[in-house]
Amino acid sequence: MEDKRNVGIYVRVSTTNQVEDGYSIGEQTDKLRKFCDVKDWNVYKVYTDGGFSGSNIKRPGIELLINDVKNHNINTVLVYKLDRLSRSQKDTLFMIEDIFNKNDCAFISLNENFDTSTAFGKAMVGILSVFAQLEREQITQRMQMGRVGRARNGLFNGSQVPIGYKYIDGQLVIDELTASVVKDIYHKYLDGWSLNKLLIYLNQAGHVGRELPWNFHSLRYLLTNKTYIGMVGYAKQWYEGQHKAIITKNDFDRVQKMLSDRAVKNGKLTNNPRPFRGKYLLSGLLRCGKCGSFFDVGISKNSKTREVVNRLYRCHMRNKYHLRLANLPESRRCTTSKSYSMDKLEQKVINRITKLSFNAEKLSKLLDRNGHNIQDPTPVLNRLADIEKEVSKIMDLYTIGNLPINAINERSAKLAEEKNSLQLKLKNIEEEKNNQDIIDFKKHIKQAPNVFENGSLEEKKIFINQIIKEIVLDENKMTIQWNFG
């Protein structure tokens, strides 16, 4: 490369780094320009990305920089720190090897003091980018901790704001128009209105505050959502919120008791089955493989005696009455799904669970198929220790000149890539080992024989809901989505 360099200065700050010392756009640019002045290099252009994350290279400043590199307008890219270019090892190596090197453009990081136009810089860049990737992962972990902190401080974390509220400046604020709908629903339910009657009433009123018509799930979710009593939820935990409640704690508790009491009462009615009834073992778990709707419970009767012959699980969208309730056209009716004998289907699910509880190997294979294979971390730790030793040896050989620079470059890059891969693998092993969902699932599944033999109907239902997230039925195929994350 010629002695006279035509330099493209690249500076970036993320939103979390705007006020950090040494990271502002102005401070980075000033230091890099002074460096070029000392070296007597020409600054062709300063490429700036303000408020952009380094997790990917989809940034306007980077795109302009790449374009000028490919057009050979610059022969050197200068940054203040390696992670200003990218926090991803993959992206860093891609930029250096596939963009800069292929276009005879050097890459220099002032803070780490290396230059890819030198032998040592080429050998070190792959290793240093590993630590930039690690830093990004640590930031992600801090963000997750921040969300937990927000919830503990009473701040809303959800992506979908509950009807009755607006999300303004990081806070839930009561929306008087839709909050009146929430209050109306609670008051009418406390006055004895059924879910069916409420659905008809709400949809005839034009489902104010909702883009879609009301259905049983949305209505029941509203009646059980603790956000309305001033609480916030995150990661299955509830905390005292900073926002104002729409429903009093007393009214909310009364509604929960009424929902529970009605479920028990409705369970005794064989001639008027409804969803969410506590009597039926698989209520709320079954989904139609044809249309995606949930399943109701129906009955078949003897045409002469009118006695109940069989109870059935069937797709909610098969019933014309339900279409009318939701203001849906006839074309939405699910006519291709089949009905399933309640007794036979429930026994089939029980058999599947019981077999799994008795067969540890089958359980391990199930977890493995779903990405939950817990491995021994010892081989990974041993290999990471070996890599550290190999890197040290390579640097020693380079220092005494006994190893060609091409060999150093190739071997260092491979070791850096392997190290990063092993660190990610080790992290996944540790996370899997401490996965509370898996721990709980294994503990629950062992209780299956005792629960199904000695438990009450309610105990069996609670148990099944602890280990099964959803059951999809499509013709004669039953697909169980287990509740282990």
Contact 31, 97 (CB under 8 A): no
Q: 73, 99, 118: which is the final residue of a domain?
A: 118
280 in a structural domain: no
Q: How confident is the model at residue 433 (pLDDT cuts 50, 70, 90)?
A: low
Q: How confident is the model at residue 399 (pLDDT cuts 50, 70, 90)?
A: low
What are the Cα distances from residue 168, in Å, to 131, 155, 156, 231, 244?
38, 12, 11, 17, 13
Q: How confident is the model at residue 461 (pLDDT cuts 50, 70, 90)?
A: confident
SS3 49: strand
pLDDT of 134 above 80: no
Both tokens of 107, joined, read 């890459």
Look at residues 378, 374, 390 and name the one whose alpha carbon lies nearest to residue 435.
374
Domain count, the chain: 3
SS3 431: helix
Contact 79, 127 (CB under 8 A): no
- Which pLDDT value is given to residue 276? 41
The reply to whether 356 and 478 lie within a common domain is yes
- Which pLDDT value is given to residue 421? 79
The reply to whether 370 and 454 lie within a common domain is yes
Q: 64, 91, 118: which is the final residue of a domain?
A: 118
Q: Which residue has the higher pLDDT, 109 or 261?
A: 109
| CATH number, domain containing residue 164 | 3.90.1750.20
Q: Which residue has the higher pLDDT, 367 or 10?
A: 10
The total of other beta-carbon atoms located within 10 Å of residue 7's CB is: 23
- Which pLDDT value is given to residue 271? 39
pLDDT of 364 above 80: no
What average pLDDT score do residues 163-182 get? 92
SS3 107: strand
The reply to whether 168 and 239 lie within a common domain is yes
- Which pLDDT value is given to residue 70? 94
Q: 252, 267, 282: which is the final residue of a domain?
A: 267
SS3 376: coil
341 in a structural domain: no
What average pLDDT score do residues 145-163 get? 81
Least trusted range by pLDDT, from 34-38, 50-54, 369-373? 369-373
Look at residues 83, 111, 113, 89 and name the one whose alpha carbon lies nearest to residue 17.
83
The reply to whether 466 and 411 lie within a common domain is yes
| CB neighbour burial string for 231-256, b if at least 16 within 10 angstroms, e if fewer | bbbbeeeebebebebbbeeebbeebe
pTM of the complete model beyond 0.95:
no
In angstroms, the CA 155 to CA 228 distance is: 14
In angstroms, the CA 86 to CA 94 distance is: 10
234 in a structural domain: yes
324 in a structural domain: no
The reply to whether 22 and 70 lie within a common domain is yes
In angstroms, the CA 99 to CA 103 distance is: 6
pLDDT of 275 above 60: no
Write out pLDDT tens, residues 415-429: 777 787 777 777 766
- Which pLDDT value is given to residue 278? 47
Give the CA radius of gyration of the chain: 31
- Which pLDDT value is given to residue 255? 93
Q: How confident is the model at residue 244 (pLDDT cuts 50, 70, 90)?
A: very high
Q: Average pLDDT over the chain, rounded to whole?
A: 79
Q: What is the DSSP string of 305-371?
A: T--EEEEEEEEGGG-HHHHHHTT--GGG---S---EEHHHHHHHHHHHHHHHHH-HHHHHHHHHHTT
Q: Which residue has the higher pLDDT, 173 or 274?
A: 173
- Which pLDDT value is given to residue 272? 40
The reply to whether 405 and 470 lie within a common domain is yes
| CATH number, domain containing residue 69 | 3.40.50.1390
Write out pLDDT tens, residues 183-227: 999 999 998 888 878 887 887 776 666 777 787 788 998 999 999
Q: What is the DSSP string of 226-244?
A: GGGGTEEEETTEEEE-SSP
Least trusted range by pLDDT, from 121-130, 314-323, 340-349? 121-130
The reply to whether 402 and 457 lie within a common domain is yes
pLDDT of 10 above 50: yes
Active site residue 14: yes
What average pLDDT score do residues 242-246 get? 95
What average pLDDT score do residues 286-303 get? 83
**How does DSSP classify residue 294?**
B
- Which pLDDT value is given to residue 376? 60
Contact 328, 213 (CB under 8 A): yes
Given 14, 129, 283, 293, the catalytic residue: 14
Q: How many residues does the chain have?
A: 485
- Which pLDDT value is given to residue 173? 94
pLDDT of 268 above 60: no
Write out pLDDT tens, residues 21-33: 447 888 899 999 9
- Which pLDDT value is given to residue 353? 87
326 in a structural domain: no
130 in a structural domain: no
In angstroms, the CA 233 to CA 328 distance is: 33
What average pLDDT score do residues 317-339 get? 81
387 in a structural domain: yes
pLDDT of 431 above 70: no
Which residues constitute the domain of residue 252? 153-267
Q: Which amino acid is at 439?
A: I
Write out pLDDT tens, residues 57-107: 889 999 999 999 999 999 999 999 888 888 776 678 788 888 998 999 999
- Which pLDDT value is given to residue 279? 60
The reply to whether 367 and 452 lie within a common domain is yes
In angstroms, the CA 111 to CA 125 distance is: 13
The reply to whether 176 and 97 lie within a common domain is no
Contact 49, 12 (CB under 8 A): yes
321 alpha carbon, distance to own chain's centre: 36
The reply to whether 25 and 92 lie within a common domain is yes
Tokens 């991803």 label which residue?
A: 88
Report phi then psi at 483, rounded to 5: -95, 60
Contact 399, 344 (CB under 8 A): no
pLDDT of 483 above 60: yes
Q: Which residue has the higher pLDDT, 53 or 222?
A: 222
In angstroms, the CA 314 to CA 342 distance is: 9
The reply to whether 113 and 163 lie within a common domain is no
Least trusted range by pLDDT, from 2-6, 209-213, 265-269, 388-392? 265-269
SS3 240: strand
Q: Which residue has the higher pLDDT, 253 or 378?
A: 253
194 in a structural domain: yes
The reply to whether 397 and 457 lie within a common domain is yes
